[in-house]
Structure 1
Amino acid sequence: MTYAFDEQTAVVPLGDGAWSVDLHGGWTVGGGLNGGYLLAVLGRTLGEAMPGKPDPLSTSAYYVSAATPGPATVRVRVRRDGRATATASVELLQDVEGHEVVRVTALATCGDLGRTTGDVRTTAEPLVLPPPEDCVGATDVAPEGARTPPRLMSRFDLRIPREQAGWAVGRPSGRGEISAWFRLEGGREPDVLALLSAVDALPPVTFCLGMPGWAPTLELTAHVRARPAPGWLRVRHATRNLAGGMFEEDCEVWDSTDRLVAQSRQLALAPRTS
């Protein structure tokens, strides 16, 4: 069975370290395409470029300009290829009126998580959420005044605990934390690429600070720690500091066996308040 996510992140080799991709408009949010989706596209390309080390263990991506739906090119340059890991630079580019414009530039270290299957030990406490059926869907909790949910919300199933969705009725919690159940469209089972998407899938934590609106990602570093088990993922985003018009957003992703399978931190612009 072919899933929409696999079609929407598919890349085609062009030769000389380049791949083409048709960026899907269904991942649109605010003024561009979702950062987690773009990170998954980069991750798929890195896996194609380094088949012996298919898993992006650590990826630091800078979002230089807003990517738009349509054709794009991904270029990979392997900087070092060692026994267990390889490091590569990767860029996502689009043609704008005859000029090649960088959308995302990243540095990634890749390896093979299959060599360490099950080797996850942590002192972190697993994320506990109400059952998915007792939570509310993301399309049902748009902030007050929003006309329609962002298009990307139909690309996955997101279930948010009711007590964390107060922004939808004008009662933001003020805690700077949002958690949710996550799974891709069509019930596609999670893998490493799904984890890269999940780290940027939840509404910005600024929603629960009473600041709804688009929060463009400036930089996002994702660490993939293990290949996830089948089933729902549990995701938590949190912030502790908003300063200079920017905020950090820390993320944890837990799989169905209570393993902490991915972590990330991003720096994003705070939504405009007027």
Structure 2
Amino acid sequence: MSTSIETPVATSERGREGERDDERAYEFDRDTAVTLREPGVYDADLSAGWTIIHAVNGGYLLALLGRALGDHLPHPDPFTISAHYLTPSVPGPAVIRTETVRTGRTLSTGQASLFQYAEDGTEVERIRVLASYGDLDTLPDDVRTTATAPAMAAIENCFAASDGPTPAIPGSSAIADRLDLRLDPACVGWAIGAPSGKGEMRAWFGLADGREPDALSLLLTVDALPPTSFELGLKGWTPTVELTTHIRCRPAPGPLRVSITTRNLAGGFLEEDAEVWDSADRLVAQSRQLARAPRA
């Protein structure tokens, strides 16, 4: 059921995570709020708090569009969402246009595009997504997997952004202040000029204001760590070209463990495969993205 005209949409999973006293107390929920202008069309404001250098983080954008689609479609939870990043997004006003592609009993599919405005007032499409939504609470309990949680140092032995000689996310990066990110010591060689060359990044992940994870925030989580290219000895902007995320189950409260690997950097592009594990040792999200590699 969609919200009424000009009503801000900010309640994650429509209360399925358990009612919070005041969701607007959490920065992620305020900054991913969308306002229904007319059926299928939402107004949004991209916050400068989720930027890396001058561009808005791709995971934050994915969560913002995920919020709009979750309101537009009859099912509440993102199961799979694929995004193509067409042009860099900047802080400021945006409009999201959603469309229902198909509605079924257990899954509904929709697409959405986010637009911003050029100096002459014309619309510029920033990101386009295609997604299937369902209800995570209806999934069976049967789990058969060979996947194992990443081997990581204890959270108290990992490095926060303020611990090293350089920030966990270098450059002008406001997003670092909104994350409780603790990098595994085995993946911080790049910060002291000694990258491992392995193309791996692992970290404990949470939001700095204590907001617990849910299906929507997992869309941010998969794209919030420093790029694996840093550990390959390359520093600089690594813009996402395409990102596909699968949400496998609703995460338990507590910090998440995120592991990202790159096996092939070639032709100026690299892939990043991410796994997100919750405090109950469950694989709650997976993703793959194609990104442009920084220049050496």
The TM-score by the shorter chain falls in which range?
Answer: over 0.9
Q: Per chain length, whose mean CA-contact separation is higher, i.e. which structure has more relative contact order (CA < 8 Å, sep 6+)?
A: 1
- 1:67 alignment partner, one of 79, 84, 89: 89
Is residue 25 from structure 1 mapped to residue 48 from structure 2 by the alignment? yes
**In 1: Cα distance, 2:268 partner to 2:189 partner:** 23
Q: 1:96 to 1:120 in 2, by over 3 A?
A: farther
Cα distance in 2 for residues equivalent to 1:119 and 1:269: 38
Letter in 2 for 1:3: Y
Q: If the length of structure 2 is used for normalisation, what is the TM-score?
A: 0.88
Q: CA RMSD in A?
A: 1.6
- Helix, strand or coil at the partner of 2:123: strand
Per the alignment, residue 228 of structure 1 pairs with 251
- Counterpart of 2:116 (choices 83, 94, 98) is 94
Aligned to 2:59, which of 20, 29, 36?
Answer: 36
Give the aligned residue type for 1:82: G
Pairwise CA distance, 1:139: 4.5
Distance 1:14 1:26, change over 3 A: same
Cα distance in 1 for partners of 2:164, 2:70 equals 36
| Cα deviation, residue 133, structure 1 | 1.3
Output the amino acid matched with 1:75: R
So what's the TM-score if we normalise by structure 1? 0.95
Unpaired stretches in structure 2, ≥5 consecutive residues: 1-21
Q: Does 1:115 align with 2:142?
A: no
Partners of 1:117 and 1:226 within 8 A in 2: no
| Residues 70-91 of structure 1: per-residue CA shift (max 9 Å, x gap) | 1101111001001100111110
Residue 154 of structure 1 is matched in structure 2 by 177
- Distance change (3 Å), C-alpha of 1:244 and 1:148: closer
Aligned equivalent of 2:280:
257
**Deviation, structure 1 residue 212:** 1.1
Looking at structure 2, the residues matched to 247 and 76 of structure 1 have their Cα atoms a distance apart, in angstroms, of: 30
1:197-236 correspondence runs (5 A): 197-236=220-259
Deviation of 1:130 after TM superposition, in Å, equals 1.6
Number of equivalent positions:
271
The DSSP-based 3-state class of the residue aligned with 1:36 is: helix
Query: What is the deviation of 1:187?
Result: 1.0
Deviation at 1:132?
Answer: 1.3
Q: 2:211 aligns with which of 180, 188, 198?
A: 188
For the pair 1:170 / 2:202, whether they are aligned, the reply is no
Q: Is 1:272 aligned to 2:295, yes or no? A: yes
Matched residues in 2 for 1:187 and 1:264: separation? 24
Letter in 1 for 2:31: Q
CA distance in 2, matches of 1:200, 1:87: 23
Matches of 1:264 and 1:141, distance apart in 2: 28
- Displacement of 1:176: 0.6
d(CA) in 2 for partners of 1:43, 1:114: 18
Read off the aligned partner of 1:79 and give its amino acid letter.
V
Match in the other structure for 1:85 = 107
1:5–1:185 CA contact under 8 A, matched in 2 = no
Q: What's the CA shift string for 1:203-254, capped at 9, x where partnerless?
A: 0000001101110000000000101000000001100001110000000000
Q: Choose from 156, 163, 169 the match for 1:133.
A: 156
Query: For residue 109 of structure 2, what is the amino acid of its counterpart?
Result: T
Residues 195 and 231, structure 2, Cα contact 8 Å, conserved in 1: yes
Query: Distance in 1 between the 2:288 and 2:170 partners?
Result: 29
Q: For the Cα contact (< 8 Å) 1:141–1:165, is it kept in 2?
A: no
1:173-210 superposed Cα distances (whole Å, 9 cap, x missing partner): 11110100000121100001111000000000000011
Q: Write the distance in 2 (CA, Å) between the matches of 1:142 and 1:252.
A: 28
Shift in alpha-carbon separation, 1:140–1:86, aligned structure 2, 3 A: same
Tell me how far apart the structure 2 counterparts of residues 143 and 216 of structure 1 sit (CA, whole Å). 21
| AA at the equivalent of 2:100 | V
- Give the superposition deviation at 1:30: 3.0
